[in-house]
Amino acid sequence: MNQFLKVILACCLIIVLTSCKESSTNKQPGKLDQPDNLSVERLDPLHQSDVHLSKNIDDKKVVKKLYEKILSLPSFPQGTISCPADNGVQYELTFTLESKLVSKAVVSATGCQGVTMNEKIYWAMEPKGKGFRALFEQDIGLSDEAMMSLK
């Protein structure tokens, strides 16, 4: 009987330790890691404009608000949808916390205006975009036309 209790106790201990380990490694990005810095790089594969953008934002409030805005966007719709023309211009966002990578995101400036982050595609096209595009343009200092490479 004493041997039986030791086996049961050992099994319980293994279960508890295993579940603690899993819960600590399964933290969701964005819920626990709040970035304090953002680097933005403009990607223009067709070289349609002389507008080049490489910007670093270290205002923690601005970075946090933009990061949380992305996470609050609705999921990109499934199935076939009609979108405006896409000229390929994108913005690569690198969110860091104390110089360590938290997340990378890619914002499509035209077309369906999707935002890809953490292997999920969000929909930023208004009205579903909840003001994301205006906030992003303001934070990086570009007009709507400049963001899309129209000027």
Three-class HEC string of the chain: CHHHHHHHHHHHHHHHHHHHHHHHHCCCCCCCCCCCEEEEEEECCCCCCCCCCEEEECCHHHHHHHHHHHHHCCECCCCCCCCCCCCCCEEEEEEEECCEEEEEEEEECCCCCEEEECCEEEECCCCCCCCHHHHHHHHHCCCHHHHCCCC
Residue 75 lies inside a defined structural domain of this protein: yes
Residue 9 lies inside a defined structural domain of this protein: no
Residue 3 lies inside a defined structural domain of this protein: no
If one compares 81 and 148, the residue with the highest pLDDT of the two is 81
The percent of residues above 90 in pLDDT, for the chain, comes to: 36
Question: How far is Cα 95 from Cα 132, in angstroms, rounded to an integer?
Answer: 16
- What's the average model confidence in pLDDT over 96-101? 94
Q: Would you state the pLDDT for residue 46?
A: 77
Residue 42 lies inside a defined structural domain of this protein: yes
- What's the average model confidence in pLDDT over 14-42? 60
Q: Would you state the pLDDT for residue 130?
A: 76
Residue 2 lies inside a defined structural domain of this protein: no
Residue 33: give the domain boundaries: 28-147
- What's the average model confidence in pLDDT over 89-109? 94
Q: Would you state the pLDDT for residue 8?
A: 56
Question: How far is Cα 107 from Cα 109, in angstroms, rounded to an integer?
Answer: 6
| Structural domains in the chain (count) | 1
Q: What is the mean pLDDT of the chain?
A: 79
Residue 5 lies inside a defined structural domain of this protein: no
Q: Any idea which of 17-26, 59-68, 101-110, 129-138 has the lowest mean pLDDT?
A: 17-26
**pLDDT over threshold 90, residue 31:** no
The answer to whether the CB of 137 falls within 8 A of the CB of 66 is: no
Q: Would you state the pLDDT for residue 111?
A: 86
